[in-house]
Amino acid sequence: MIVRPVHDVLLLITQPDHAHLARTIMEHCVALADRPRRDAILHAIAEHDNGWAEADAAPTVNPENGRIADFVTAPLAVRHAVWPRGIARLAEDPWAAALVAQHAITVYDRFRSGAAWASFFAELEAARGAMLRASRMPLADLLDDYAFVRLADLISLTFCTGWTDEQRFGDWTIHPSGTRVVVTPDPFGGASIPIEIEARALRNQPFRTDAELRAALSEAAMTTLRGEVSRS
């Protein structure tokens, strides 16, 4: 779950919705137009967070502070379970599944030295290897295609979370400017891409229990965030 505070309101966006927005954005990417594995790359982008669906459907509260557990602060067991589940769902498209495994390995790499993460990396690297063998393609090609997955993820996350810090990946810089996300160098051939996503709006307050949170969420109004991705 993405939890975005806006004054006295919390906007909740599901991880799968964020991923679908990421795909919508990258459908406009010029460098992907003639990519031989374009369909699989876009599939991976759209489904890279499908393993979060269960957690997002039953959000939890941090008992220490009453705050909603988001995709960063969710318990370790939740974060570890998300990725094998999502990869398994993509097994019929092994290249997309391998890209999602690479995504998990990449975004959590900073935890690699932690003992609690050892089995996670072993499992994800084994899954990536199995999907590569099924694809009959080398790791080097996977890493080359993965750049589009990570770029898409960062653009969509910047918009959905309301991050104010500049993000960097490879040669790209992603930074917010009001309701716009500016990407340089421009991967979209000069196009400005209108984007929107739905969120549930809750009062910005701590919750005593998971049940209290879920009850509030069931009655929460929907709102739509709108903006655009552009080069300047």
Give pLDDT tens digits for 18-31.
999 999 999 999 99
- Helix or strand holding residue 202 (H, E): strand 193-203
Determine the residue type at 35: R
123-143 tens-digit pLDDT: 999 999 999 999 999 999 999
Residue 195 and residue 179 in contact, taking contact as beta carbons nearer than 8 Å? no
Residue 148's domain comprises 2-230
Q: Per the structure, how many domains does the chain have?
A: 1
Closest CA to 152 of 34, 35, 23: 23
163-219 tens-digit pLDDT: 999 999 999 999 999 999 999 999 999 999 999 999 999 999 999 999 999 999 999
Give the phi and the psi of residue 136 in degrees, each rounded to 5: 60, 40
